[in-house]
Chain A
Amino acid sequence: MDNPAHGRIVADMTRDPDVLIVGGGLIGPTLALALAQGGIRSAVLDALPLPLRRDPGFDGRAYALALASQRLLAALGVWNGLRDAAQPILEVVASDGRAGEGPAPFFLHLDQAEIEEGPLGYMIEDRFLRPALLEAMAAAGVEHRAGAEVVAQEAGPAGIAVTLASGERLSARLLVGADGRASGVANRAGIGRTGWDYGQTALVCAVAHEAPHRGIAHQFFMPAGPLAILPLPGNRSSIVWSERRETAAALAALGEAEFLETLRPRFGDFLGAIRLAGDRYSYPLGLSLANALVAPRVALVGDAAHGIHPIAGQGLNLGLRDVGALAEVLTLARRRGEDIGAPDVLARYQSWRRFDTAALAIATDAFNRLFSNDNALLRGIRDLGMGLINALPGARRALIREAAGLTGEVPRLLRGRPV
């Protein structure tokens, strides 16, 4: 055309990434990889500096990946390097328990043998997952900016401009908030949040034990909150112990010996003697849902969209479903020649994810309320309910598939297929 200004704009568009992702945790880099597979250029803006040298030792942090999440990582080419480090979850045993009494006889048992897809999920340690994602991102040519803190954002008719604390300005078609519960991207976009504090804190640590766990994950429902024992490679397990906030603070302050002394009666002796195998972490638990998943030129994924109760271990998995859905919506839009940050494109992502998100938030909230108390009537109801599910193979299989992330309108990546 005869307007020279247009040529300049077009040249800028080819240099800028299509998508800016704020947040360098697990969700942001995974989204960058999924977008790269769909031919969409992105850059990850990480407010934290890159660690000088990653400590190769185990620090006690681990994640439960649902089968669908593992498939997504496989479809993105990340799983091959992780397979040997992952522990398959072969069975899940959920039971009711009271402090000091140890766990009650089990009444809900989910076994991988009941579904054809394989293990229910995998346990993977943070020290393996995080570097694998960063390396895959580097291999895919995704720009990763450490220490890049976003201080302002401004949506325009055709794109969004972002200002960093350094004063540098970047622009893209779309800005994605993968920046957690206190999402600055959501806040600056005027997206409010709904939620409440559970008054509980999750104590997370890993233990080494004498006896093998045989790939069984245990969930004990205690009056103060659930205790999960999740199998790690070797004779080690990851512990997620939810307690009332004051109790948790006191427990966190205990020395190692006293801490283990308090844990033992809750843990039971089925794995033999236990000792700590890493650091201890505390996470205050709360529900924090963004009131919208999108705003002009903005989309939210992961905890920025929905910080839920970790009772069912679904937080990371829910975030990876966001990744699969958003990458699929944007990739299809790009192939059609649509503007990937246009409101109708973003509306497709929101309508796809909104129901799933709300349903899981309500379910985990209700689950926590039902199980985190000592009311005799509620104990009776939940024993009856779980006993019923356990007695009905169809219901049990449905629950297994739900936990494995195999239900609903599943994004292609979570079925292990490229977008």
Chain B
Amino acid sequence: MTAATSTVDPAEIAKFEAMAAEWWDPEGKFRPLHMLNPCRLDYITGQIAAEFGRDLSGERPFAGLRILDIGCGGGLLCEPMARLGGSVVGADAAERNIAVARIHAAQSGLEIDYRHTTAEALAAAGETFDVVLNMEVVEHVADPAGYLAACRDLLKPGGLMICSTINRNPKSFALAIVGAEYVMRWLPKGTHDWRRFITPDELYGLLRGAGLDQVDRKGFVFNPVTWRWRISDRDLSVNYVTTSLRPRG
């Protein structure tokens, strides 16, 4: 895949470089993701460190762990995972995201295996991982049950899946659709279809159905005064995250 980028027309590369700069501009188009990212990373790194007994204050604590990020976009999660020593595969169904993510990883001096592919295709190819990151994807797929079954197949026995999504209730409609898309213009209109949002109970049902054990669940809560996200034990009313484990044997 690396060879492919070198045969692309230079105008195309310039376009992707501009898009990479856009993806990684904390004040730009992807500002909501940048704002949420430290909070997501705190949760993800904490769960991985706890499950695999790693010390986050050490050098390259995720060394030896194979990590997949589904819907990796410009690489906002892949790069931190690689910096922590993980061996990272980033998958995205949008080809231009992969081109953008590759350019940025090269600029950052990070080795990340970015692929233009889907969870289902990776599962069909028999790939397996210690950790699967499944962040803000499940609310966009047509068949969540089938998709989560593919995610389960991507996990090694004892592997960890971290899955975040948006709850479905009047508050999440007000905040995630009206607030984020129409009032704040953080996200393009039509980014989310509220009917596809999933309640925590529905998600647990789907994960259980896929044969995964629940490990943890938390809310991501935005404070409009400090403009910061925080992790909440109780408030899963809008954005929330779950950790589940593929049982051994």
Interfacial residues of chain B within 32-90, with CB under 8 A of chain A in the complex: 34, 37-38, 41-42, 45, 56-59, 79-84
Give Cα distance in the complex from A3 to B38, angstroms: 30
Known: A338-B41, A339-B79, A347-B26. A13 touches B3 (CB 8 A): no
Structural contact, B2 and A336, CB atoms closer than 8 A: no
Pairwise interchain contact B2-A2, C-beta atoms closer than 8 A = yes
| Stretch from B102-110, B120-128, B199-207 forming part of the interface with A | B102-110
A385, CB-defined interface residue at 8 Å: no
Q: Is the CB of A158 within 8 A of B26?
A: no
**Are A39 and B58 in contact (CB-based, < 8 A)?**
yes
Closest-CB distance, B175 to chain A (whole angstroms): 22
Per-residue contact bits, chain B 107-118, to A (CB 8 Å; 1 contact, 0 not): 111110100000
Assess whether A157 is in contact with B107, with CB atoms less than 8 Å apart: yes
Distance between B41 CB and nearest chain A CB, rounded to angstroms: 4
B79 vs chain A, min Cβ distance (A): 7
Using A39-B58, A344-B34 as known contacts, say yes or no to A337 and B2 having CB atoms under 8 A apart.
no
**Size class of the contact patch on chain B:** 20 to 34
Q: Is chain B's interface secondary structure helix, strand, loop, or mixed overall? A: helix
Least distance between B62 CB and chain A CB atoms (Å) = 8
Cβ contact within 8 Å between A337 and B80? yes
Which A-chain residue is minimally distant from B17 (CB atoms)? A157
B112: nearest chain-A partner, CB-CB: A1
> In the complex, are the beta carbons of A12 and B109 less than 8 A apart?
yes
A377 at the interface (CB under 8 A from B): no
Q: Pick from A2, A157, A336: contact of B42, CB below 8 A.
A: A336
Interface code A322-345, partner B: CB below 8 Å = 1, 0 otherwise? Answer: 000000000011011111001110
A6 touches B38 (CB 8 A): no
Contact partners of A38 in chain B: CB under 8 A:
57
How far apart are A17's CB and chain B's nearest CB, in angstroms? 14
Residue pair A335, B26 in contact (C-beta under 8 Å): no
Known: A39-B57, A335-B57, A336-B45. A6 touches B109 (CB 8 A): yes
A250: Cβ under 8 A from any B Cβ:
no
Are B26 and A1 in contact, with the CB atoms below 8 A? no
> Could you tell me the distance in whole angstroms from the C-beta of A332 to the nearest C-beta in chain B?
8
Shortest Cβ distance from B75 into chain A, in angstroms? Answer: 11
Measured CB to CB, the nearest residue on chain B to A1 is: B111
A78 to chain B, nearest CB (A): 20
Known: A2-B3, A347-B26. A338 touches B38 (CB 8 A): yes
How long is the Cα–Cα vector from A344 to B42 in the complex, in angstroms?
Answer: 15
Structural contact, A337 and B83, CB atoms closer than 8 A: yes
Output the least CB separation between B65 and chain A (Å).
Answer: 12
Q: Point out residues on B near A: beta carbons under 8 Å.
A: 2-3, 21, 24-27, 34, 37-38, 41-42, 45, 56-59, 79-84, 104, 106-111, 113
